[in-house]
Amino acid sequence: MALTEVAPDTRAPSVVARSPVGIVSLAGMELRAGIRGPSFRLLAVVSAILGWSAGGAPGRGVALSAWLAGETAWRFFGFVIIGWMSFLAVQDIAARTDVLVYSKPQPTERIVLSRFAAAFGQVLLALAAVYVFAVAGRLYSGGGLTGISAYMLRYLVSVGVVFFVGAASYTMALMLRTPLAGAAVGLYWVLALAGKQYLPKALYPSYSQNVLSYVFLGMCLLGVTCWFHRLRRRGRQPLAAWVRPLTLGSLVLCGVFVWHSLVTEFDPPMHTDPALEMMAMQTAPVGELAPGFRLPNTTGGLSSLADYPGRILVIGLWSPEDSESTIILDRLEDVWRKYGSRGVQPIAICISQDRSAAAVFARGSGVDFPVVLDWGTHNADKPSNASPMASAYDADTLPHVVVTDRRRLTRRILKGVDAYEGVGLERAIQERLAAQPD
């Protein structure tokens, strides 16, 4: 059809130059709309309560508080986010803003991504509220802020976990156009929580070592949604150049990380490691050589008992999953300060399936002595079945402390409350010092 050109009517507005508007600008405006709404205020209040409840954890440093804030962020906050993102994904349909937005000349992928970014931006703010209120709760309960950077470590891991759960629920709800689709992610979350022992470590979303896999999976889901959401809306408009590489690249990277986890994580019977199995086979009766190990420490290297020849060793086993046992870190730090110059060497062995646990607690407790991670920890009914080191030290009650003499022979074993309360530990060390002053 031929088009004719005529002079515009006088009321015709001036035509303004067009240039693509960035996804960030679009998302920024949607974020502004979102955070002013009553539902975001409710989300912020829920986040604050969750954070506050985690903040009052005991300990000289913030370690346990930071750890619990992270646990809260994915256990409870995770469910909130599933609901939140599923709701936001289809809110447009219910509120009928979609008819305005989708009739505009913006490619679908830009709309999808900017809206996700705005929704996730609100989640990040709410997540920040969890941690800010955890700090506030800690201060309110009279705790200090030693090792406050541990909160940041946990926040970063939480962001990854929440990104996955947010992306999964958002994309499911958007593709199927119902918030109930997001409930499928909620179901997975419930199964992951309730059936932890049946899941390979590599498939458990909250472990820091798995976060990258899940972040790439989330990116892949977003890519798929950008690619296929409202496919017919596109007409003959080409798909943006970044969508396919984002989707396929993320899928490949997710696969690589999962595969790497599956083949490297000590997770019997799927994958075992002869060195860890040998460590587990050691025993620790009084009078015998304390079980040795070579495990990753928090500075990126490996530590073993052989690194401390001629010192009285105070070996403490603990687990972040047993909150009370983490108190031993403060006791070991006391020992280090008081007796370190006299040849006493504390070493903490962290029994956790999460690779970042030792680092978070070492940093959050402000300890100067070596903290190593028993990376062979896996799902089992009790610590001695779950952890090679707990097995070697026969540590079914945590914390579990072993005091050796200067020849590394086990001299005293303290279990549970006896390890951190009363004078048992102090007396054991003084006895060793008296017997072997140098």
Partner 1 sequence: MRKRSLIPIASRNSERRRVLNVEIEGLRKEYEGGVVGLQEVNLTIPPGIFALLGPNGAGKSTLMSILSTLMDPTNGTARVGGHDVIREKDEVRQILGYLPQDFGLYPSLTAFETLDYVGMLYNIGNPNARRERIESLLSQVNLSDVRNRRVGGFSGGMRQRVGLAQALMNSPSLLIVDEPTAGLDPAERIRLRSLLAELGGDRVIILSTHLIEDVEAVADRVAVLHKGKIRFHGTVAEMQEQVRGRVWEVDVEPGELAELRRNHLETGLRRTNERIQIRFVAEKVGHPNARPAEPSLEDAYLWLMREDTSGPH
Which residues contact partner 1 (rule: CB under 8 A)?
A: 1, 3-9, 11-21, 25-26, 29-30, 32-34, 36-37, 92, 95-97, 99-107, 232-238
Q: How far is the CB of 327 from partner 1 (least distance, A)?
A: 46
Pairing verdict, β 410-415 and 400-404: antiparallel
Q: How far is the CB of 173 from partner 1 (least distance, A)?
A: 18
DSSP letter at 409 equals: B
Q: How far is the CB of 233 from partner 1 (least distance, A)?
A: 7
Identify which of residues 9 and 381 has a Cβ nearer to partner 1 in the complex.
9
How far is the C-alpha of 417 from the C-alpha of 419, rounded, in Å? 5
Q: How far is the CB of 240 from partner 1 (least distance, A)?
A: 12
Q: How far is the CB of 15 from partner 1 (least distance, A)?
A: 5
Q: How far is the CB of 117 from partner 1 (least distance, A)?
A: 14
Identify which of residues 234 and 294 has a Cβ nearer to partner 1 in the complex.
234
Identity of the residue numbered 54: A
Identify which of residues 31 and 157 has a Cβ nearer to partner 1 in the complex.
31
Pairing verdict, β 344-350 and 312-318: parallel
How far is the C-alpha of 266 from the C-alpha of 237, rounded, in Å? 49
- Collapsing DSSP to helix, strand or coil, 217 comes out as helix
Cβ atoms of residues 350 and 318 within 8 Å: yes
Q: How far is the CB of 115 from partner 1 (least distance, A)?
A: 12
Select from 178, 166, 173 the least CA-distant residue to 118.
166
Identify which of residues 13 and 274 has a Cβ nearer to partner 1 in the complex.
13
Identify which of residues 35 and 212 has a Cβ nearer to partner 1 in the complex.
35
How far is the C-alpha of 292 from the C-alpha of 272, rounded, in Å? 19
With tokens 């240039």, the residue in question is: 19
Q: How far is the CB of 174 from partner 1 (least distance, A)?
A: 17
Cβ atoms of residues 169 and 81 within 8 Å: yes
Identify which of residues 18 and 434 has a Cβ nearer to partner 1 in the complex.
18
End-to-end CA distance of the chain: give it in Å, rounded.
100
Identify which of residues 235 and 300 has a Cβ nearer to partner 1 in the complex.
235
- Collapsing DSSP to helix, strand or coil, 294 comes out as strand
Identify which of residues 79 and 87 has a Cβ nearer to partner 1 in the complex.
87
Reading phi first (left if > 0) and then psi (alpha if -120 to 50, else beta), residue 380 is in: beta
For the purposes of burial, counting CB atoms within 10 Å of the CB of 273, is it exposed (0-12), middle (13-18) or buried (19 or more)?
Answer: middle
